[in-house]
Structure 1
């Protein structure tokens, strides 16, 4: 593709930089057409028209050549050369030149004198014109072929770019799908872990009921019935305050997106008693239950909750929505 582009640029520069001496010769022949038509014809015959670079120069030469033939009272063996001027000026809508070429066509064919040398030179110029026409035709084909090649090369480059972009999009989609897959797997893992934790909490919940029911069953109808039940309840409360506290803390973090860990970071100076209150509140325990677990009255618990809420609102401002959801 790059080599083809260099070739096109080289051909264009070469064509544009070509400087032909022919227009100067044509100017000289035109200037002496009236004063010395014979010399003007000789100058026009000295030009190799097969080397002309454009049709305008060719048409001007043909017009001057026909005029020189008429001025020298020479008859042309054919109308090939004068027709070059007639056809060109008609196509270009150059009325004055076209009318002049049409008049010369009638005169050059009706001139009485026929010179063998002039005829031979005329036929030579015809051959040169045919060579010019063939060369321009080949050049046109070449430029058309180059143009088609450029279009084809551009289409190939465009298709390659599209395929490359599509490949990049596919890779991005694959990466995104892989990310989604990882997220789904992580979510499944979290769900499985939460299910296990919920099952564990469910088992403990019913184990507590089972333990209380067994105590009641064993002591019902006896004098120690009430005392046994109270002692059992007290032991369960103490267990919840000490042994079960880490499990409650972990359950809150699991269900509330590690809210307790975030509060510790935002409010590192929180007291242990307030932290226990926070865990119990976040666990959804009632005020009476919290009173039993912390050994405080309801009024004290209400006041502590209010103060703790205010402190957290100031210290953990970024977590306000989550913190407020606890209270």
Structure 2
């Protein structure tokens, strides 16, 4: 891409350099035309027409060359050079120069003074003009090719940038998908752990029911039936109080978004007895059940619940509906 730009710049600079030199010679020839037409004619013949930069400069040279021939009373073997000026100025609607070129054409045709050297120079300039036309045609082809190449390069760069942007977007989407997958995996693990916990709690509950039913069945019809059942219930309550507290705490945190962890965070100085009460309440146990587990009366449990709720409100500075809902 950069190489193509350098080629175009070099091409333009080279053409402009010679065009500037040609203009200087034409200005000098025009200045000499009225006082020394021979010198003006020589200056015009010194220009390599095939190297002129554009059609406007070529038309000006042809007009001055024809004027120099008339001023020197020379005839031309053809109308090629004067027609360059006539055609250019006519097509560009520059009527002053067009009329001037047309008059010069008529004067040259009327002049019968033939000069061998002038004729040879004229034919040489015709050849140079033909070379100029071929060069212009080649330059047009090259310029068109450069335009096509620049356009193609621009399209390639645009496509590359678009693909790069698309790649970045795809990477972003992949990263988001990976993040979502990790979240789903983590959620799946949490669900698996909760499911395992719930199965464990369900199994324990059925085991407790089974144990009570076995005790009732074995004691049924005897005088010690009531006593056996009561003793069994007492032993199960004691087991829950002493052995199952940690499992209950873990189950509550798993099922209720670490609610007990949040309780400890906002109230780090909570007493063990109050924390035990919070765990039982978070399990959804009734006040009577909590009173049995704590070994306190129902009225005492109600009062402790109220005090603990007030303390949690005070230390948190705001009402956490999730935490307060356990009371």
Length-normalised TM-score, structure 1: 0.90
Counterparts in 2 of 1:99 and 1:301: CA distance versus 1, 3 Å: farther
- Distance in 1 between the 2:253 and 2:275 partners? 13
- Distance in 2 between the 1:299 and 1:86 partners? 122
1:160 CA drift (Å): 2.6
Q: Which residue does the alignment assign to 1:176?
A: 176
1:195 CA drift (Å): 1.8
Q: How does 1:51-70 map to 2 (within 5 A)?
A: 51-70=51-70
- Distance in 2 between the 1:101 and 1:302 partners? 121
SS of match in other structure, 1:53: coil
- 1:312 maps to 2:312: yes
- Distance in 1 between the 2:234 and 2:271 partners? 25
1:72 CA drift (Å): 2.6
1:146 CA drift (Å): 1.9
Q: Which residue does the alignment assign to 1:96?
A: 96
**Stretches of structure 1 lacking an aligned partner (at least 5 in a row):** none
Counterparts in 2 of 1:157 and 1:21: CA distance versus 1, 3 Å: closer
Aligned length: 327
Contact 1:237 1:293 (C-alpha < 8 Å) held by counterparts: yes
Q: How does 1:26-175 map to 2 (within 5 A)?
A: 26-175=26-175
Q: Give the ranges of 4+ consecutive aligned residues of structure 1 lying more than 6 Å apart after TM superposition.
A: none
Counterparts in 2 of 1:94 and 1:279: CA distance versus 1, 3 Å: same
Q: Which residue does the alignment assign to 1:293?
A: 293
| Further displaced range: 243-252 or 97-106 | 97-106
- 1:5 maps to 2:5: yes
1:62 CA drift (Å): 0.6
Q: Which residue does the alignment assign to 2:230?
A: 230
| Further displaced range: 260-269 or 116-125 | 260-269
Q: Which residue does the alignment assign to 2:200?
A: 200
- Distance in 2 between the 1:262 and 1:173 partners? 35
SS of match in other structure, 1:21: helix
| Further displaced range: 311-320 or 292-301 | 311-320
Contact 1:38 1:72 (C-alpha < 8 Å) held by counterparts: yes
1:16 CA drift (Å): 4.6
Counterparts in 2 of 1:19 and 1:50: CA distance versus 1, 3 Å: closer
Counterparts in 2 of 1:318 and 1:100: CA distance versus 1, 3 Å: farther
SS of match in other structure, 2:126: helix
1:318 CA drift (Å): 8.0
Contact 2:75 2:113 (C-alpha < 8 Å) held by counterparts: yes
1:246 CA drift (Å): 0.8
User: What are the superposed Cα offsets for residues 238-267 of structure 1, whole Å, 9 maximum, x if unpaired?
Assistant: 222111111110100110122212322332
Length-normalised TM-score, structure 2: 0.90
Counterparts in 2 of 1:14 and 1:316: CA distance versus 1, 3 Å: farther
Contact 1:74 1:111 (C-alpha < 8 Å) held by counterparts: yes
CA RMSD, aligned part only? 2.4
1:63 CA drift (Å): 0.7
